[in-house]
Amino acid sequence: MKHSFESTELTLVNSPLIGALHVPRTDTPRLVVCIGGSDGSTSRLVARSLAREGFATAAIEYYGQLGLPPKLTEIPLEYFMDAIGWLRERVRPAQDFVALRGHSRGGQCALILGALGLDASAIIAYVPSATTGWTTDTRTGAKSPTWLWNGAPVPWTFDPTRPSHGGDEIPVERITSPLLLFSATDDQQWPSHESCLRIVDRLEASPTRPPYEHVSYPEAGHGISYPPPFALPLTWGGTLEANRRATVDSWQRSLTFLRRAATSTRGRGVGEHA
């Protein structure tokens, strides 16, 4: 059953963020916060599709808009923390259920927020990086940190030998939320498959790791996070058929994951898999 919903465009005038909020006309919606990648388009499409599934959703934009950093560099993570806190108060989701769903840079951001202690009910990271990341200026070639926390770069070191755009590894073992990772073996944006394997290694080495699942898609590329049946840019890797299969399968898995988390106490109790 598809749900109808009410939409509100969010600006820095009526909220602490820029983006869109969709709230289904149900008594007890759960909230999913969607963070897109550097392309800037994924989160809005995903948020509307998840709202049709009965979730309250918010798509957060974080650069390239008036009032936000102009480029994908030195983004303050407090912006997301404040936005999520405001959304909790605005939506008042059932059982205080707030999940994060991030794609690419957004997946990286979601993992960092979880490692910093964000109280999320569940985290989904599509084709993320295992490291904190740096951004390259396409004009000058200069390197700068992508994310800031308390005004300083998130622990960051420029090392061109590291996969996933460099930086220090995200301490994912500090995450307390159930975690779902999607990766692709033919990712042409960055090595998401290798990154997720490294994330799994860190999780397995920790006795306090959260419940997690990693699903990797052979011959698929970076653009697998769009809700089906939307087309995927093959310039991001993968074959048309592999990307189609990954998109359909990951969408259904993500819905199942969110619904299972929503029926658990504060989202806990999702099964653990390698």
Task: Give tens-digit pLDDT for 82-127.
Answer: 999 999 999 999 999 999 999 999 999 999 999 999 999 999 999 9
Three-state SS string over the chain comes to CCCCEEEEEECCCCCCCEEEEEEECCCCCCEEEEECCCCCCHHHHHHHHHHHCCCEEEEEECCCCCCCCCCCCCEECHHHHHHHHHHHHHHCCHHHCEEEEEECHHHHHHHHHHHCCCCCCEEEEECCCCECCEEECCCCCCEEECEEECCEECCCCCCCCCCCCCCCECCHHHCCCCEEEEEECCCCCCCHHHHHHHHHHHHHCCCCCCCEEEEEECCECCCCCCCCCCCCCHHHCECHHHHHHHHHHHHHHHHHHHHHHHHCHHHCCCCCCC
Look at residue 270 in the predicted model and tell me its pLDDT.
37
Counting residues of the chain whose pLDDT is more than 90, the rounded percentage is 72
Residue 133: pLDDT over 90 = no
Sorted by where each starts, the structural domains of the chain and their CATH numbers stand as 5-267 (3.40.50.1820)
Residue 274: pLDDT over 60 = no
Task: Give tens-digit pLDDT for 163-192.
Answer: 444 468 999 999 999 999 999 999 998 999
